[in-house]
A and B are shown apart, each in its own frame.
Chain A
Amino acid sequence: MKLVLSQEQQQLRESVRSFLRAASPLPKVRHGYDPQVYARLNGELGLSGLIVPEEYGGAGAGMAELAVALEETGAALLPGPFLATAFAAIALTRTPDKELLSGIAEGRVAATLTEHELACDGTTVRGTLTQVLSGMEADVLVAPASTGDGMVMVAVELGAPGVSRTPLETLDVTRGQARVVLEGAPCRVLGPQPESGIGDRLCVAVAAEQLGVMRAALDAIVAYAKIRVAFGRYIGSYQGVKHKLADMHCKLEQAESIVRYAAWAADEAPDELPGAAALAQAYVGRACFEVARDHLLLHGGIGYTWEHDAHLFYKRAKADEVLLGPPRLHRARLAQLLEL
């Protein structure tokens, strides 16, 4: 089991972090998706191809590396379809498709994934998807679909006729969702639906993003607690504040340990992955929201303003916590895996 980053992974983290610091600073993210930043992220850093196998032009890295990247995009509250494309890439590594994978690796294609099942007649699909992550920004939707004989994975061009997309007004202004209705939209069958493993990897990916969100939220409030004065003292010197920050730090330490473990399990220990993935969502999802919430509260009134960034973390944390379904599902999964 590997819970500590290797030197290469640390370098990856550093390069993503410094890129985002310059290209997508926090004041910018509330304006939403910037395709140019996204293109550079994929072009200069090759991030979209991180887990795409080398034969399709990607870096052939594992979930451990993807987790490092997602932690940074999470910390930066990066807008746009990076997570959605990572979701699609996760699914596509199990049902490889040269065209899509190389498109993603080159940064030409932004994709998204739904776990909701479509109906497919071999060349077109039907279905109503009420919430598709980055559905307006993505070029392609990857989805499971039922055909006359069995379940397949399909790819649907979201710009094609038969597709209607409506942007949703989401809580998280830094990342959108769309309602997508498919009425005889052309599709390409990629292959049979893989038995398992996709959902677990999505859990790990989201947990990595949540880890970044919580780390950045904690950093922000720790920094503020060192400069904000009340009653003649820095607020960080009051135990009511300090002890809460200490508890938030404890959550962060445990969350990081779980994310590293779950990413390792995804890459190296498939038997442990289901338990690790459910643990990651059950623990990190909650911890992230709690930290983001307390980070907002400890800012005082300024934290409740639209101007301030605190609500962006709070909202991303909430959106992430429920992204993969009501959190009780992860707990129920654990109960089932523990044979309780």
Chain B
Amino acid sequence: MNLAEYRRAARAWLEENAQAGDRPEAGDLARAKEFMARFYDAGYSGITWPARWGGQGLTEAEERAFAAEARHFTLPTYVFSIGLGMTGPTVLDRGTDEQRERFIRPLLRGEEIWCQLFSEPGAGSDVASLQTRAVRDGDHWVVNGQKVWTSIAQYADWGLLLARTNVDVPKHKGLTMFVVDMHHPGVTVRPLKDMSGRANFNEVFFDNVTIPDEHRVGEVDDGWSVAVTTLLHERLSISAGVGMGGQKDNPASLEALRQAVDTSDPLVRDQLVELHIRSRALALFNQRLAQETEAGIFPGARGSAAKLLLAELTLFQADLATQLVGPESVVAGHPLAQAISLAPGFALGGGTNEIMRNIIGDRVLGLPPEPRVDKTVPFKDLKVGTQA
């Protein structure tokens, strides 16, 4: 099948299988899982993932062809986004063959939902200062502690957990990555209402939760390098969410706004032009990153630039849209009231804008690091979290 045929087939499949009432969020989990199974069976889940572990083994070209078609539809896939974008690729990159065999196919087929358990009340930007402990006990580990802001945890079957396994070494050197069973009786998930009024993220408590050593990802005390893999995937997958125009259902898109506002006013026109310029600039940058990846140039830390630009565009766009539409945009029920509430999330989740700028400065431009007090001190002697 050539690319054009592939794309036509994808469109036909989407037309038949995407339902008008579908929302990205997990309104109806059964529907989302049923959709995902059909999505996988049709060959559209894990398009570029290795066939050996259940992926399709195709190239970025097919992935992009599919994404170009999918943009015209709304798919109920939000609950799978952490697994597909972050934890799945981490298991593929850094897991054992047994782990790949066990976890990848059910993840791609939507049979199992994943979450990412990194941030804690005392450790977000500086996630390496986290305090959740994992202590070895024979052939398994015992975990105690608390995570927070964990997206999708309330639906998750598995979590990718970063925990401290050694307090006598500097903070980056005493972390280990695990796959934790979210159904373990010692795991408590409490949904947290976010500023939009929805509960998409959670607090997660671990009370003597056991994890078999086979579910450790990477070496003991080498969890930081595994986490870096996850975070790289995270930034790329967040930023790749923007496509070339056609932002279906986005009430702050140019297409939506041109219907909603009076474009005979030259000031309005110019603001919409600014929105167009910024959206196109980012969409083209994302396309270029995708083409580079296809050509074998891994974007690495440059993905942080795309993530930062998306966060800024999202804030700008919702802000502009509410200004243009006026009073009605801030009344419940107006889609922009939701959009303006959701907008800050992009600038926080997956690393804040400041952290993205640090990464671009340090890793992409090679600028000198800030003086640090936390790199050589053993973790147990370090000041962490919120302290007066």
Give CA–CA (A335, B272) in the complex, Å: 8
**Are B360 and A246 interface neighbours, CB within 8 A?**
yes
**Are B357 and A246 interface neighbours, CB within 8 A?**
yes
- B356 at interface (Cβ–Cβ under 8 A)? yes
**Are B272 and A338 interface neighbours, CB within 8 A?**
yes
**Are A257 and B276 interface neighbours, CB within 8 A?**
no
**Are B302 and A338 interface neighbours, CB within 8 A?**
no
Least CB distance, A64 to chain B, in whole angstroms: 14
Interface-facing stretch out of A89-97, A120-128, A233-241: A233-241
**Are A242 and B367 interface neighbours, CB within 8 A?**
yes
Give CA–CA (A1, B361) in the complex, Å: 30
Question: CB-defined interface of A301-340 with B at 8 Å, one 1/0 digit per residue?
Answer: 0000000000000000000000000000001001100101
Give CA–CA (A2, B292) in the complex, Å: 10
- A250 at interface (Cβ–Cβ under 8 A)? yes
A residues within 8 A CB of B254? 338
- A282 at interface (Cβ–Cβ under 8 A)? yes
- Chain A interface, number of residues (Cβ within 8 angstroms): 36
- A33 at interface (Cβ–Cβ under 8 A)? no
- A152 at interface (Cβ–Cβ under 8 A)? no
B residues within 8 A CB of A3? 284, 287-288, 291
Give CA–CA (A201, B308) in the complex, Å: 31
**Are A253 and B295 interface neighbours, CB within 8 A?**
no
- B282 at interface (Cβ–Cβ under 8 A)? yes
| Cβ-neighbour of B354 out of A1, A243, A258 (below 8 A) | A243
Closest to A252 in B: B305
**Are A253 and B302 interface neighbours, CB within 8 A?**
yes
Interface-facing stretch out of B321-329, B331-339, B368-376: B368-376
A residues within 8 A CB of B357? 239, 242-243, 246-247
Give CA–CA (A247, B305) in the complex, Å: 8
Interface of B is mostly: helix
CB contact under 8 A between A236 and B361, given known A254-B281, A254-B309, A282-B277? yes
Interface bin, chain B: 35 or more
**Are A258 and B281 interface neighbours, CB within 8 A?**
yes
**Are B368 and A250 interface neighbours, CB within 8 A?**
no
**Are B288 and A260 interface neighbours, CB within 8 A?**
yes
Give CA–CA (A53, B263) in the complex, Å: 44
Closest to B312 in A: A250
- A70 at interface (Cβ–Cβ under 8 A)? no
**Are B282 and A254 interface neighbours, CB within 8 A?**
yes
Question: CB-defined interface of A214-225 with B at 8 Å, one 1/0 digit per residue?
Answer: 000000001001
A residues within 8 A CB of B364? 246, 249
Question: CB-defined interface of A155-190 with B at 8 Å, one 1/0 digit per residue?
Answer: 000000000000000000000000000000000000
- B365 at interface (Cβ–Cβ under 8 A)? yes
| Cβ-neighbour of A222 out of B276, B285, B297, B367 (below 8 A) | B367
Closest to B365 in A: A222
**Are B366 and A257 interface neighbours, CB within 8 A?**
no
Closest to B254 in A: A338
A residues within 8 A CB of B360? 245-246, 249-250
- For the complex of A and B, the 8 pairs showing the least CB-CB separation, nearest first, are A242-B361, A246-B360, A236-B367, A257-B284, A3-B288, A246-B357, A254-B281, A243-B357
Apart from A246-B365, A250-B305, A257-B284, list 14 A-B contacts with CB within 8 A.
Answer: A4-B292, A222-B366, A226-B367, A237-B368, A242-B358, A246-B356, A254-B281, A254-B284, A254-B309, A279-B280, A334-B276, A334-B277, A335-B270, A340-B258
